[in-house]
Structure 1
Amino acid sequence: MSALEVGRGRSAWWLRGAAGGACAGIVLDLALSGVSTVMLAVAALLSLAAVLLPASPAPLVLICTAALLLTLDGGDPLRPAVLVLIPLVHALHLACALAGLLPGGARFDPAAVRPTLRRAAAVQAVALGFAAVAAVVPITRTPEPVELIALLSIAGLALLVIVARQRRR
């Protein structure tokens, strides 16, 4: 089996750099949210471990730690600190997943990650859309006719997805 020639390509260290950038953003987000110094130090150490050992559990532990630290304070779930954390943890997850597959001295073709980046952008757009809908949903009790319309709409969307998948086969 011959190796795939990527020409000049990019060094696999770029992926670790992307993971480092996401980690820096997560730690900054936690710092601006008023997380304790001890927990900030834990997040920083987990960030270092995630960059140096991307295939280890460190990225997952950092993601879970950041999510817990921002949600346990009881603040608004749609505050900017939480909304910023969503794409940051997604970027960390993707960068570590790709960096964990490649040895440090490897090279990759940037075109190889384009489908992954497109899919990530689509996921982030949907997540932002859900957040926008959640921001405008009233907190008071919803009238029954509106709930019924919403349930029928969801059922209709599910039916459309099923039909579209069946046609694709």
Structure 2
Amino acid sequence: MVRVELGAGLPGWVLRAAIGVVAAAVTGVLAANGVEPVGLALYGLLVVAAMAIPASAAAALVIGYPAAAIVVVSDEPSWPSVFALVVLLHLLHLLSAYAAILPLDSRLHLNALKAPAKRFVAMQLCVLVVGAAVLLLPGGRTDEAVEVVGLACAVGLVVGVVLLMRRKS
């Protein structure tokens, strides 16, 4: 058995503070895209609720609100803002999930976050590559045949996932 000395670690509230820092960056992206101050204030209230109770629905609203706000405010998406929100909102999701299971009076050791950080980076790289591929697609109307094939592929993926999940349980 190998004995590992962990040291003192960080207080458990650090994850909740990190939620606030990342949400402040999201607020900056929203403000840069023209979201009104009232909308930003409402988002701030949601963030405070998510920081206080990260296992609540407020965390989901903190993640979903910016996407809806960007769609309502702008006619054409600002792709740098969309990519920034993808990264920031994924990070908010992870921070909220870990803060929900970590009590406030506990200790957080950064070594415990190495594997999740690697998964986060790998996932973001994949998402950003797909996003870059989407930017390369031509704009305009898609032919009906292509839409039907795409819908059939999406249905096939859903059916395949359901069948795979059914076999495991």
Q: TM-score range by the shorter chain?
A: 0.7 to 0.9
> 1:80-126 deviations in whole A, cap 9, x for unaligned?
22211111111111111101111111002211111111111111111
8 Å contact from structure 1 (residues 35, 69) kept in 2: yes
Which residue identity does 2:55 align to in structure 1? A
- 1: CA distance, partners of 2:43 / 2:53: 15
Query: Aligned with 1:75: secondary structure?
Result: coil
8 Å contact from structure 2 (residues 11, 108) kept in 1: yes
| 1:46 aligned residue | 46
Identical positions, percent = 34
Determine whether 1:18 maps to 2:18.
yes
Query: Aligned with 1:103: secondary structure?
Result: coil
- 2: CA distance, partners of 1:118 / 1:100: 20
Q: CA RMSD in A?
A: 2.3
Aligned residue pairs, count: 143
Consecutive unaligned residues in structure 1, runs of 5 or more: 159-169
State TM-score, norm by structure 2: 0.75
Alpha-carbon spacing, 1:34–1:140, altered in 2? closer, same or farther (3 Å): closer
- 1: CA distance, partners of 2:69 / 2:76: 13
Structure 1: which 4+ aligned runs deviate by more than 4 Å? 140-143
- 2: CA distance, partners of 1:14 / 1:139: 44
Consecutive unaligned residues in structure 2, runs of 5 or more: 158-169
Determine whether 1:101 maps to 2:101.
yes
Which residue identity does 2:9 align to in structure 1? G
8 Å contact from structure 2 (residues 22, 88) kept in 1: yes
The 5 A counterparts of 1:11-160 are: 11-77=11-77, 79-139=79-139
- 1: CA distance, partners of 2:78 / 2:39: 22
State TM-score, norm by structure 1: 0.75
